[in-house]
Amino acid sequence: MEEPVNIPEKEERTFPRVSVPEKMQIHFSFQGDRYNLSFPKAAEFDTNDLDDLMENIDPRNLSGLIDQMAEWIKANANGYRLVIFKDIKPTTVEELLIAKTGKTLYLPSTNGSFPLDDPYPQKRIVTKEMFMQYLESTGVGAEFTDSACARYVKSKADSGVFSDVWVPILFLEYVIGYIHVWNSDAKRELFTYTVVDTLYQFSKILAHSLEINGYFKDDKLDNDPFVGDIVDISASGMLFTCPNADIFNSLLPDSNLVVNISTPQRNFNIRAGIARCFKNGPSNYIGCHFFFMTREDFSFLFECIYGKPLTDFDVSVFTGQV
């Protein structure tokens, strides 16, 4: 089997961007299924796959999964609630915040405050700064957000809650609900990141279980190819505009596309990860990086774009080997 060219996850602009060759045509399609759901959309979402933490759970058994989750929670907390935003909409501060951000609201101790930093590589936690930014977006003056945050935490303590976690349930970019777990028993331990991690995995496999049990099937979209106006291209990625607003709203950072490149000599598909999406005036821009191309495809694309053969030195520089 041909050795693939392992392109870096985030494009480092090793090679310059140029105009698209005249006879090259490019079409895009989404990698994986797409849906049009009536749930809130998060500004960002986590594309990590399920890990081995839930290897003993059968995702087809939805009721069994919920029972197992409840059993684990009862061993670590004295209160929990599972909510799906099907018949209800987000209304509380916590619900609105996690629906907007797609991140976990974690208050390790009501004698303290929210975490100052997010320890996860793909950010998952609402930090104190984010919470204050949210308060400001609701109309709280910037000079009052710190005291408003302190009052919020105090209100939790006054209600008898010692530790609190709200984990969103994400299906693709949609926040379909959440798992709320709290401790109001002073004899129980405060929640740690181990608890957050386990709840996060439960939320991932719960969303997966809903999918394979057909919960979203009626809202599945056809994955038709779409076109974009290519601004420029390199051997490692491209920048393009997307005139279709509905499609642009579904092109979120860290999601993946299948890119079909057609020339008079060859027609082939490569994978691309979306690095950034932004608006500039009336135009919607998407920057993406290519990854895991075969050596043959990479060599052809390089020569087609730059008009010169690919060398081993080019490959070694591009893959960070020198």
Query: What is the per-residue pLDDT across 70-91, written as a single tens digit (0 to 9) for each?
Result: 999 999 999 999 999 987 899 9
DSSP string, 221-242: EP---B--EEEEE-SSEEEEE-
pLDDT score of 105 more than 90: yes
Determine the average pLDDT of the residues in 36-54.
69
Reported as a pLDDT band with limits 50, 70 and 90, residue 175 is: very high
Provide the pLDDT for residue 88. Answer: 86
Query: What is the distance between the terminal CA atoms of the chain, rounded to a whole angstrom?
Result: 25
pLDDT score of 63 more than 80: yes
Spell out the domain ranges in the chain.
4-32+223-318, 52-217
> Mean pLDDT over all residues of the chain?
87
What whole-number percentage of the chain has pLDDT above 70? Answer: 89
Reported as a pLDDT band with limits 50, 70 and 90, residue 318 is: low
pLDDT score of 4 more than 70: no
Cβ count near 170 (within 10 Å):
24
CATH code assigned to 4-32+223-318? 2.40.10.220
Provide the pLDDT for residue 56. Answer: 64
The answer for residues whose C-beta is within 8 angstroms of residue 313's C-beta and 6 or more apart is 322
Query: Is-same-fold flag (4-32+223-318; 52-217)?
Result: no
- Per-residue pLDDT reduced to its tens digit, 213-262: 999 989 888 888 899 899 999 988 999 999 888 888 888 888 889 999 99
> What top-level class would CATH report for the domain 52-217?
alpha beta
Reported as a pLDDT band with limits 50, 70 and 90, residue 112 is: very high
Are 284 and 245 within 8 A, CB to CB?
Answer: yes
Residue/partner pairs of 300-305 with CB below 8 Å, 24 or more apart: 300/265, 300/266, 300/268, 301/235, 301/261, 301/270, 302/15, 302/235, 304/21, 304/24, 304/263, 304/265, 305/18, 305/21, 305/233, 305/234, 305/235
Provide the pLDDT for residue 44. Answer: 67
Provide the pLDDT for residue 76. Answer: 92
Cα 124 to Cα 258: distance, rounded to the nearest angstrom: 27
